[in-house]
Amino acid sequence: MESVLAAWQVATLGGIVSWIMISSCLNVTQKLRSLLQPWVTHYVIIGTAFILQIQKYQHKFLDSLFSGLSCVVSVPFYTGFLPLVFWSGHVKLARHMTLLMAFCDYLGNTIKDTVSAPRPSCPPVRRVTATKDEKENALEYGLPSSHTLNTVCLAGIYLGMHSLVDIIAGLALGLAVLAFWLTVHEYVDNFIISGHNVLSFWSALSFLLLFAYPTPELPTPSFEFHTAFNGVALGIVAGVHLTYYQFHHEAAPVIFSPQLSIPAFVGRILVGMPTILLVKFCSKALAKWIVPVISNTLGIPIKSTSYIPMLNAPVKGKESDKIKQSSYAQKLFFFSGQDIFDVDTGIRFLQYAGLAWSVVDLAPSVFAHLRL
């Protein structure tokens, strides 16, 4: 049985490696973009009139309402909300939600950066970006709509972030992903709980997915969002696998039960939130030291866009961003002319992996010690 499990794991990782090499050699991303981008751009342009019709009903209340709804599917919201689901005792639901969001984020952002389709033109469309998170999202490409993919909601039309074709694509992709997940989620859960080589397999998978990500036409924050969720998925899988029978089993106390009262749950929040934020800070500080050391040991030229200013290479502007996101596949297997690695990717990945691990391992251990 173990040999069969090992075989499918090797086949999965080998398939990803093969895809990275083939797509890099055959320039698959650019070829797909040349086919899809003109078609999508055409529908984005002709859909502008529809968005303008909706935005005629502009009102401050609607601005606040839809901005709030869009924040509900943002990375900061998930960072604050998912720990509460874990700590409320709904541990199976929480890990399924986390992994599904990570899957949606990777798939959606991969398609975004492959197609590199524009968002509705502003002006004439009025783009509502009331928060820093919305301003970052506005820098991404449009199709598919991540908000629709994650929540099947239509708030992004009013905000001027997406065209109708983005919404339709996000809806179709979201339904397809949901159908697929409902088919495989029990197999995934059983593997995480009691599978063989879970930590080594998921670590290798997370690493390869960073290199399998397509290069966008122009730099966007989509890869950064994927890196964060990729790290979160690894941290959740590692923590749950190691502590399932202590904290994440089917009989774990659930909120509103005698074993987990409201005061105890509030205590978990008051203790847990500072704990995971401290771990996030420490993970980032540790990663800022470890990643450059490992890179230098391996003789890999490095730079840092934001985390370690002293490592900045003498490259500026768009060229710097291009180096950050280009040809990860070529750098993995054979160095190209652009052989400077941005250590921010590794730092961000380890930072969020540490954060997620603390949610499902460290924080519950503290709760148990405090009898919460």
Q: Of 348, 337, 335, 354, which is closest to residue 304 (Cα–Cα)? A: 348
Runs of H (alpha helix) within the chain: 2-25, 28-46, 48-55, 60-71, 75-87, 91-115, 132-137, 146-151, 155-158, 164-194, 198-212, 222-243, 262-297, 317-325, 328-333, 344-357, 363-370
pLDDT tops 60 at residue 325: no
- What pLDDT does 221 receive? 74
Q: Of 307, 313, 278, which is closest to residue 291 (Cα–Cα)? A: 307
User: What average pLDDT does range 319-323 have in this prediction?
Assistant: 46
- B/e letters for 328-363, b = 16+ CB within 10 Å, e = fewer, are bbbbbeeeeebebbbbbbbbbbbbbbbbbbbbbbbb
| Residue partners of 139: CB distance under 8 A and separation at least 6 | 220, 221
Instruction: State percent of the chain over pLDDT 90.
Output: 3
Average pLDDT of the chain is 75
184-231 confidence digits (pLDDT tens): 888 888 888 888 888 889 998 888 888 888 877 777 777 777 888 888
User: Whole-angstrom Cα distance, residue 146 to residue 137?
Assistant: 10
User: What average pLDDT does range 345-370 have in this prediction?
Assistant: 89
232-250 confidence digits (pLDDT tens): 889 999 999 989 888 888 8
Q: How many CB atoms lie within 10 A of CB 220?
A: 20
pLDDT tops 50 at residue 96: yes
Catalytic positions, written as ranges: 147, 162
- What pLDDT does 270 receive? 92
265-293 confidence digits (pLDDT tens): 889 899 988 999 899 889 888 888 888 88
DSSP for 330-371 reads: HHHHS--S---EETHHHHHHHHHHHHHHIIIIIHHHHHHHHT
User: What average pLDDT does range 50-75 have in this prediction?
Assistant: 65
Sketch the domain layout of the chain as residue ranges. Answer: 20-312+328-370
Quick one: pLDDT band at residue 339, thresholds 50, 70, 90? low
15-24 confidence digits (pLDDT tens): 888 888 888 7
- What pLDDT does 158 receive? 40
